[in-house]
Structure 1
Amino acid sequence: MVENWRRTATSPSRARQAQPAVEAAPTARLLAIFDGHRLSPAQRRIAQYLLDHITEAAFLSITDLAERVGVSQPSVTRFASALGFSGFPALREALHPIALSAVAATPDSPEEIRRNELQAAVDAEIANLEGLRQLLGDPAPVIEVGQNLAHSVPMAVLGVRISVSIAEYFAYAAKRIHPDVRLITSGGSVAYDALLQVKEAGGTWALAFAMPRYSNETLSALRAAKETGLKVALITDLPLGPLAHTADIVLSAGTGSRLVFDSYAAPIVLTATILQSMADALPERTQARLEAYEQVADRHVFFLPDE
């Protein structure tokens, strides 16, 4: 966080006087332009180049900037639009004063720039976790989802492309406390077949993960789940995102978007709370399954001994 105002510990009369605003460092000002915008990995490469070379990059033509970064000119134009500018000239105009202030100031080393950027990414994740904490101030929706999933036998878990990893984490843990978890990580007709089998076997609910960038495969699979008669709980990053209308219940947790690829601290924690709610929904079944698994794990030595 950049300190906007400084206060002096002198006389009371001087302390009461407002001190002039301290201009944020060039790196912080540039990060503020990027903050809050959904950028693709290719667009984040452009952002990274601007961070590393702001004093010269701000005065490059669109052709030169595209060549330096190794992207096409339309990619640079889309990057400017994604940041809310009318085009590259408007973005470059906004970059000029930042670049000039960087020239006038003591230049940050590449290590300092990268440190600021990485710390800003962690700060953004902390903000996402704080948002999740506020969401869980009313735990009723999470408890409801956990109960619905616990009673759905079998239960479908859907995640494709970048969302596969979170879906696999959930399914791996859920199998310890649920008798029939069906993990679906492919789209198209494969997903439709799997969802139909879940419904025909008596399942009532599917849990879907949809992290950006949202894929057509996910949208098709969610529609297929509804067509088969399954109800859908959706875990995504925005409560009113482009896939929210396909679900019966939507739970959201923000993703970190300051690095080349998104980070998922808050969605993972939200996923863990759903697992907890599932375990609490049927405590006797949960305990029996966990004890049975520990016996198998001990017998076959699945894990290294505790030190």
Structure 2
Amino acid sequence: MTQPSPPTDYESLIRLIHDRHDTMSRTYGKIAVYLTQSPNDVAVRSVTSIAEQCGIHASSFVRFAQSLGYSGFKDLQALFQQRLATAAPGFESRVNALEQEMKAREDLSEADYFRDLVISDTASVQGLLADTHKGDLSKAAEILGDADTVFLLGQLRAAPVVEMLRYLLTMVGKKCLLLDPSGGLATHIAKTIGPKDALVAVSFRFYANEVVSITEDMAARNVPIVAISDSTLSPLAKSADVLFSVPENKSLIARSLTAPICLAQAIVVAVATRGSKSEKVEIPTVTSLQS
């Protein structure tokens, strides 16, 4: 039987990976998740470097690409490179230059670490700008704007994102409630969510079990869900009415929250300006609230 032609663009490749993900082996599934979570890294790193980071032999990446119809990993990687070059002209060369510079340096100063982190965060935000669809922002604004109460769910590294959402939504006058994990109450609070409410679920790998469980329960109850995660293969994806997949770049300590926080702010702005001709939103200050 003739092997179907492999995808010729990034979007078609990701759709194919989604279609086959449930039937993939554990190793191929892990590769698929990495490809969708770290498209910028896939574009600029060698297959050896990517394999070392994933803890998978490089030959598995080659075989994975061949299973999708490519002659080798470089053919698959070219689609990621095309995506990055189109989304941010000139950025690929800057990242490559940084890669080479990092390899050449042995002792990094505090300023060097700071510079590297800023460049990494810039890559994440640029990826966010390229991959976020206007229609998704509009739909998220509609879901949250129409909800009686917006419930916020996020644990572990996602906790600061939902705390920011709680602050911003409260300050623009939207009723919201945090599903606080303290005392093991998050699951019990979730039972109070009604059909006219909405849930914002935020989770990154390694996905908090309670967050995934509550999100699935709310989807079964037809509660509208807006999710923020790190991959379109995230366990939140199947439950979400709107899923924002935020590109990440690995840092020395933990993956940065710069892009998710930026997205959280954009979502609140979209909610606050919904139906308004003005696009300028100002969060009230403590002074203005007291005057």
TM-score normalized by the length of structure 1 = 0.56
Q: Which runs of 5+ in 2 are unaligned?
A: 1-44, 59-103
Query: Is 1:235 equivalent to 2:235 in the alignment?
Result: no
Amino acid at match of 1:196: K
The structural deviation recorded for 1:179 is 3.9
Relative to structure 1, is the Cα distance of residues 116 and 232 closer, same or farther in structure 2, using a 3 angstrom cutoff? same
1:31-70 equivalences under 5 Å are none
Q: Which runs of 5+ in 1 are unaligned?
A: 1-30, 38-79, 87-106, 300-307
Relative to structure 1, is the Cα distance of residues 188 and 218 closer, same or farther in structure 2, using a 3 angstrom cutoff? farther
Give RMSD over aligned pairs: 3.7
Aligned counterpart, 1:181 = 176
The structural deviation recorded for 1:168 is 0.4
1:22-76 residue CA offsets vs partner (Å, 9 max, x unmatched): xxxxxxxxx8679667xxxxxxxxxxxxxxxxxxxxxxxxxxxxxxxxxxxxxxx
Relative to structure 1, is the Cα distance of residues 260 and 85 closer, same or farther in structure 2, using a 3 angstrom cutoff? farther
Q: Distance in 1 between matches of 2:160 and 2:140?
A: 20
1:142-291 equivalences under 5 Å are 142-186=137-181, 190-199=185-194, 203-281=196-274, 283=276
% same residue: 17
Amino acid at match of 1:140: G
Amino acid at match of 2:205: P
The structural deviation recorded for 1:124 is 2.6
Aligned counterpart, 2:65 = none
SS in 2 for 1:263: coil
Tell me, yes or no, if the aligned pair for 1:160 and 1:187 is still in contact at 8 Å.
Answer: no
SS in 2 for 1:157: strand
Bigger Rg, structure 1 or 2: 1
Aligned counterpart, 1:110 = 107
Relative to structure 1, is the Cα distance of residues 36 and 131 closer, same or farther in structure 2, using a 3 angstrom cutoff? farther
Amino acid at match of 1:84: I
SS in 1 for 2:218: helix
Q: Distance in 1 between matches of 2:210 and 2:54?
A: 23
The structural deviation recorded for 1:118 is 5.1
The structural deviation recorded for 1:156 is 0.8
1:86-109 residue CA offsets vs partner (Å, 9 max, x unmatched): 8xxxxxxxxxxxxxxxxxxxx845
Aligned length: 203
Q: Distance in 2 between matches of 1:145 and 1:281?
A: 11
Relative to structure 1, is the Cα distance of residues 109 and 160 closer, same or farther in structure 2, using a 3 angstrom cutoff? closer
Aligned counterpart, 1:302 = none
Q: Distance in 2 between matches of 1:241 and 1:183?
A: 22
TM-score normalized by the length of structure 2 = 0.59
Relative to structure 1, is the Cα distance of residues 36 and 195 closer, same or farther in structure 2, using a 3 angstrom cutoff? farther
